[in-house]
Amino acid sequence: MNPRSPATEFGAAKKQFGQHFLADRGYIEKIVLAVDPRPGDRLVEIGPGQGAITFPLLDRHGELTVIEFDRDLIFPLTEAARAHGTLEVIHRDVLAVDFTALAHNGGPIRLVGNLPYNLSSPILFHALEHAAAIRDMTFMLQKEVVDRMAAGPGSKVYGRLSVMLQAYCEVVPLFDVPPGAFRPPPKVDSAVVRMVPKPAGEIGVRDPKRFEEVVRAAFGQRRKTLRNALSGVCDAALIETAGLRPDARAEQVEVADFVKLANLPA
C-alpha cells in the first residue's frame, strides 16, 4: 500500500458526485476477499474514488480497469497505481460505458464498486442491460437498496427493483458496512451485495421490453390490484391465464409469475 495519506493526495469528496470514500481497512479487506480475484479475471471497478478498493485489488491481481467520472481523480489515481500494478482508466460516465463492448475481446467482465448512492439504481439497470457480458458484480450500496434488491414476495420493500434484478441475476447480500467506515460518513448504513447473472437458458424472459413494461405497471401504484394496475397492459383474463388472481397486489407475486405473465401474448 502507498504510505502517503489518500486524503492529502486526492482532496475532499464532492457532494455533487455523491462521493463517500471507504476508509476502514477491515471492510476494505472483506470486500477484496469477497471479490477473490483469480488469474485471468477481467476486473472492472466503477467509481474508484481515492483507490481504497482499487489498490488492494491491484496488489492481489496485478491489473484493473476503472471507470471514473471525476477528472480531478484521474491523475492521482494513475500516479498512485504505479506502485501496485497496471491500471487502465476510462474517464466517462458509467451510464455511457458499453460493458458488452468492454468484454468483447477478453470474455466476461467482473464488476466491482462502491456505487454513488444517488445513481445506484440507474447503474444497476444499466449493468442489467449487459448481463450477458458480465460474470458477476460485487457492489457496495445503501443498505436500504440492498434490502430491496434481495427482498421476496410479501416484503414491504419487494418491488420493481427486486423483480427486475432477480429475474436476471442471483442476488446475495454479503455484509453490512457502518457509516463510520467512510470519509465523510454517510447518513445511512451501507451493505455489500453480490449479483451473478443467470445463464440465458434459465432466465425465461422472451421479450425484455414487455417484461419491464409489465413489472413497471404492476408496481406503479402499489395499493392497486393487478387488475387495476395493469389496466391497458394486461386484462383480467390474461392475468388469470398466468395463474394469478386479478385482485392480488404486485408485492404478492413471485418473480417467476411475472415472467410467465409477460411471456403471454398480449
Residue 186: how many CA atoms within 13 Å on its side-chain side?
26
State yes or no: pLDDT of 14 exceeds 50. Answer: no
Q: How confident is the model at residue 9 (pLDDT cuts 50, 70, 90)?
A: low
Answer yes or no: is pLDDT of 18 > 80: no
pLDDT at 66 over 90: yes
Mean of all residue pLDDT scores within the chain: 91
Helices (H), 13-113: 25-35, 54-61, 71-81, 99-102
Q: Look at residue 16 in the predicted model and tell me its pLDDT.
A: 42
**pLDDT at position 80:** 96
Residue 67, helix vs strand vs coil: strand
Mean pLDDT lowest among 3-12, 54-63, 84-93, 175-184: 3-12
Could you report the per-residue pLDDT of 151-204, keeping only the tens digit for each?
Answer: 999 999 999 999 999 999 999 999 999 999 998 898 999 999 999 999 989 999
Q: CB-based contacts of 196: which residues, under 8 Å, 6+ apart?
A: 135, 136, 137, 169, 170, 172
* pLDDT confidence of residue 7: 38
Per the structure block, which three cell numbers stand in for 212? 419491464
Strand partners, 196: 170
Q: Which three cell numbers stand for residue 185?
A: 460518513
Residue of 80 and 21 predicted with greater confidence = 80
- Where residue 21 falls among pLDDT bands split at 50, 70, 90? confident
pTM of the entire predicted model? 0.90
Do strands 169-177 and 190-197 pair parallel, antiparallel, or not at all (unpaired)? antiparallel
User: Binding-site residues for S-adenosyl-L-methionine, please?
Assistant: 20, 22, 47, 68, 93, 114
List, for residues 99-132, the tens digit of each pLDDT value.
999 998 778 999 999 998 889 999 999 999 999 9
Residue range 223-265, pLDDT digits in tens: 899 999 999 899 999 999 999 999 999 999 999 999 999 999 9
- What's the confidence (pLDDT) of residue 266? 80
Q: Which of 65, 25, 20 is nearest to 45 (CA)?
A: 65
**Which residue, among 122, 210, 133, 203, has the nearest Cα to 161 in the 3D structure?**
122
Q: Show the cell assigned to 11.
A: 482532496
Is the pLDDT assigned to residue 8 strictly greater than 50? no
> Which residues carry a binding-site annotation?
20, 22, 47, 68, 93, 114
Helix (H) or strand (E) holding 218: helix 208-218
Task: Quickly state the pLDDT bin for 2 (edges 50, 70, 90).
Answer: very low
Question: Residue 19: its pLDDT value, please?
Answer: 54
**Which contacts qualify for 70-78: CB closer than 8 Å, 24 or more apart?**
70/14, 70/17, 70/19, 72/11, 73/10, 73/48, 73/49, 76/9, 76/10, 76/50, 77/10, 77/48, 77/50, 77/51
Give 186's DSSP letter. Answer: P
Residue 11 has pLDDT above 60, yes or no: no
Domains in the chain, please, with CATH?
A: 6-203 (3.40.50.150), 208-263 (1.10.8.100)
Residue type, 42: R
Please say if the pLDDT value at position 95 is more than 80: yes
Residue-wise burial string across 231-266, b where 16 or more C-beta atoms lie within 10 A, e elsewhere: eebbebebbeebebebeebbbebebebbbbbbeeee
